[in-house]
Amino acid sequence: MLILAIDTSGRHGSVALCRGDANTFETLQLMPLEGGTYSARLMPTISSLLQANGLLKENLDGLVAVSGPGSFTGLRVGLATVKGLCEILGKPLATVSMLEAIAVTHGSAGETVTALLDAGRSEVYIGEYRVAAAGAGLVREYIAKLADLAAKASTLGGRVITPDAQVGDALRAAGAEIALISPVKADGIGRIGLRKLLAADIVDVASVDVNYIRRSDAEIFAKPNR
């Protein structure tokens, strides 16, 4: 199965062209995307990837995208792009939470992992997962102030991990045990997405939306209806 995986959830994103089946996985090419350029660079990067590997978009068997949490604009651009491609090509789409990706990539089967991501504004995205051989089951997902989380860090479930040094430093200063891990890029998203596509764990292209976890600024600061 040939798949295209994209991540536009953070300050820096990436796009990966991958191939695999139930027993194998191969990253054909991974290309970075600079934050703030997603709307202008995502489609040209996808075209460059396909061209560099002698492929057409019609050769794709499925697409995978990070659905959240993260940048409002970045996530919206990424999901809109893959939805458009899926509709045009008639291909299936699988979505992956970045918190889920961290837990699956850096967790071990049988353990509970709490994944943390810097949400800005002194806040943290939190995802608690039970990791299994075939993926991870969501226990709960929420957002909290970093100071509040540090004060009750001992209540977090299982092993606690984050790719964000600032979050890790704050929790360690509060006496919490937390492991700093490497960020998950689009090839890691593709590996998880491939399993979902093979298992027919796909989303409805027409109705799937971004998982922001928190409201956008437009919603927060909107004037109430009279």
How many structural domains comprise the chain?
A: 2
Say if residue 63 is in the same domain as residue 113. Answer: no
Taking only the tens place, the pLDDT of each residue in 162-171 is 999 999 999 9
Q: Is 87 left (phi over 0), alpha (psi -120 to 50) or beta?
A: alpha
Taking only the tens place, the pLDDT of each residue in 18-49 is 999 999 999 999 999 987 889 999 999 999 99
In this prediction, residue 214 has a pLDDT band, given cuts at 50, 70 and 90, of low
Considering the entire predicted model, what is its pTM? 0.91
d(CA 49, CA 187): 13
Domain assignment present for 74? yes
Domain assignment present for 226? no
Say if residue 15 is in the same domain as residue 82. Answer: yes
Taking only the tens place, the pLDDT of each residue in 108-144 is 999 999 999 999 989 999 999 999 988 899 999 999 9
Say if residue 92 is in the same domain as residue 123. Answer: no
Domain assignment present for 137? yes
In this prediction, residue 213 has a pLDDT band, given cuts at 50, 70 and 90, of confident
Say if residue 50 is in the same domain as residue 161. Answer: no
Say if residue 39 is in the same domain as residue 138. Answer: no
Chain mean position to CA 148:
24
d(CA 72, CA 153): 27
44 contacts: CB under 8 Å, gap ≥ 6: none
Domain assignment present for 191? yes
Beta bridge partners of 205: none
Sheet hosting strand 62-68, strand order edge to edge: 25-34, 12-20, 2-7, 62-68, 93-97
Domain of 42: which CATH number? 3.30.420.40
**14-37 burial string, b = 16+ CB within 10 Å, else e?**
bbbbbbbeeeebebbebbebeeee
Sheet hosting strand 123-132, strand order edge to edge: 135-145, 123-132, 112-120, 159-162, 179-180
In the DSSP assignment, the letter for residue 210 is -
**Residue 1 CA: distances (Å) to CA of 4, 52, 60, 198:** 10, 18, 8, 9
Say if residue 150 is in the same domain as residue 215. Answer: no
Say if residue 47 is in the same domain as residue 121. Answer: no
Say if residue 72 is in the same domain as residue 105. Answer: no
Domain assignment present for 150? yes
- Return the SS3 of 49: helix
In the DSSP assignment, the letter for residue 200 is T
Say if residue 82 is in the same domain as residue 190. Answer: yes
d(CA 167, CA 165): 5
Say if residue 88 is in the same domain as residue 6. Answer: yes
Average per-residue pLDDT for the chain: 91
Q: Where are the beta strands (DSSP E) in the chain?
A: 2-7, 12-20, 25-34, 62-68, 93-97, 112-120, 123-132, 135-145, 159-162, 179-180
Domain assignment present for 92? yes
Say if residue 89 is in the same domain as residue 190. Answer: yes
**Full domain range(s) for residue 151:** 99-180
Give the residue among 196, 222, 212 at the shortest CA–CA distance from 95. 196
Say if residue 104 is in the same domain as residue 61. Answer: no
Domain assignment present for 193? yes
